[in-house]
Chain A
Amino acid sequence: MDNRTYKAIAIGGSAGSMDVLLRLFACLPKKFSLPIIVVCHLHPCDEGGLIEVFTRHAPLIVKEVADKELIQAGHIYFPPANYHLLVERDRTFALSIDAKVNYSRPSIDVFFESAAAVWGDELIGIILTGANKDGAAGIQVIKKHGGLTIAQDPREAAYPAMVQAAIDTGDVDQILCTEEICKFLQMLPVSCTGHVIEE
């Protein structure tokens, strides 16, 4: 375990990622001091039903992102269906309705790239199961900016294509199964600057 401090965790998932996310969220400590931002390919007309499901299973606050919202520690964020998600330098979210990327909106690549440009080496990027290649380019950018990159073990992934594409870039630092990602998250050093907002 390295002792770098991180400021944010970016997770990308697609087909089959629902179960993995539920397991990851369930293992998080109550006082998790980083924001977690999850871009997963949902149905374009999802009306926030997923947020409800995740809320029931996570010890943290699960939220659909609002445009210009300040990113806070101890929150799990999802972009609204049919919008790309990006991060601004003042640690606020920005949405966009630009054309789909990798047939997806939100696209994991779009989010990972903008997050890497803001958090640089203080970002952790995690790519999960999925049936396409979204996120692979994003993983490369995170790595280029010095961030830490993790892929779910393709042997465990329900749909290995997406993690495999990421791994094939050669820019994945660690390949872990869900159990190990859980442990990794639990062991993250609590950064002193990451502020837990008390509700």
Chain B
Amino acid sequence: MKLSDIENLEIDLLLEAIFLRYGYDFRSYARGSIRRRILQFMQMTGVGSVSETIPKIIHDESFFQQMAREFSITVTEMFRDPQMFLALRREIVPLLKSYPYIKVWHAGCATGEEAYSLAILIEEEKLAERTTFFATDFNDNALEKAKEGIFSLDYVQQYSQNYQQAGGKISLSDYYHANYGAMAIKSALKKKITFANHNLVIDQVFTETHLILCRNVMIYFNKELQERVVGLFHESLVYGGFLCLGTKESLLFSKYQNKFREIDTKNKIYQKIA
């Protein structure tokens, strides 16, 4: 057996153990990223091999928690890919305006920066009154941070610039209070979003949704899991509803490809047509 085969065997066993012991299923995640995180975690904790981590994971829950934190990468930004938000404003908002009631689902919202970006856009486009906005993730720590809405000021310049490029109508600073080196999202905006735990691997559909944003989440899934999740989105959307993926993601390799129309190729905005 090759070295890589042995290592894969070990990783299979570890992921199986995590699933059976704690119910978290990473078996259908993209192997490259998972492997990297396991190796990083081993380096951090000084465990010599993947196999050696298995008994520790099984018997020591805090050890697992530590690893789970390492597994969940929640890097995000406000108005990442401003062009996509601009396209939402220009191409999708006019279409959404025809609905008396709008349901938005932001899946994989991490610590909330992107969800607040979308909430700002909805506010500025005067859709807030009729919009219900759910933002979900399976990482409770990230969700807590999202609910707090307090972010480091380190990136504020980048965020403001993104906001302007995304067609922002006033100034990003109108949406937060700055204090103690942090930006605190104003409560009026926070109230517009319901943050909730939802695991894309096991949980069910959101019915009658008009707009779904799920960006840079499925890149971490393997093909099978991606298909499940796209299926979930397809079922959740109303006929004519919209799906926004990350700029480098696509439905190109999905069997659901024919059930969507590509509205904006560059910004990966799709519309359900079947």
B3 within 8 A of A: yes
Q: Which residue on A lies nearest to B80, using beta carbons?
A: A97
| Interchain CA distance A94-B228 in the complex, whole Å | 17
B42 in the interface, Cβ–Cβ < 8 Å?
A: no
Q: Give the contact stretch, choosing among A16-24, A53-61, A65-73, A155-163.
A: A65-73
Give CA–CA (A86, B226) in the complex, Å: 17
Is A88's CB under 8 angstroms from B32's CB? yes
Which segment, of B90-98, B189-197, B244-252, faces chain A?
Answer: B244-252
| Residue from B8, B32, B36 having most chain A Cβ neighbours under 10 A | B32
Which residues in A have their C-beta under 8 angstroms from that of B147?
none
Pairwise interchain contact A94-B30, C-beta atoms closer than 8 A: yes
**Interface residue? B253 (CB, 8 A):** yes
Q: Closest A-chain residue to B29, C-beta based?
A: A94
**B253, A68: Cβ atoms under 8 Å?**
yes
User: Is B33 interfacial (CB 8 A cutoff)?
Assistant: yes
**Quick check: B249 and A146 within 8 Å, CB to CB?**
no
Q: Nearest residue in A to B220 (C-beta to C-beta)?
A: A96
Q: 0/1 per residue, A108-122, Cβ < 8 Å to B? A: 001001101110110
Alpha-carbon gap, A83 to B248, bound state (A): 9
- Beta-carbon contact of A88 and B222 below 8 Å: yes
Interface size range of chain B in the complex: 20 to 34
Contacts of B32 in A (CB 8 A): 86-88, 94, 96, 114, 117-118
**A146 contact set on B, CB distance < 8 A:** 2-3
Check if A97 sits within 8 Å of B75, measured CB to CB: yes
A86 touches B33 (CB 8 A): yes
Instruction: List A residues at the B interface (Cβ < 8 Å).
Output: 65-70, 80, 83, 86-90, 92, 94-99, 110, 113-114, 116-118, 120-121, 144-146
Q: List 20 A-B contacts (CB under 8 A).
A: A66-B248, A66-B253, A67-B218, A67-B249, A67-B250, A68-B226, A86-B36, A87-B32, A88-B32, A95-B248, A95-B249, A96-B32, A96-B33, A98-B33, A98-B73, A113-B36, A114-B36, A117-B4, A117-B35, A146-B2
B residues within 8 Å of A by Cβ?
2-4, 7-8, 30-33, 35-36, 73, 75, 216, 218-220, 222-223, 226, 246-250, 252-253
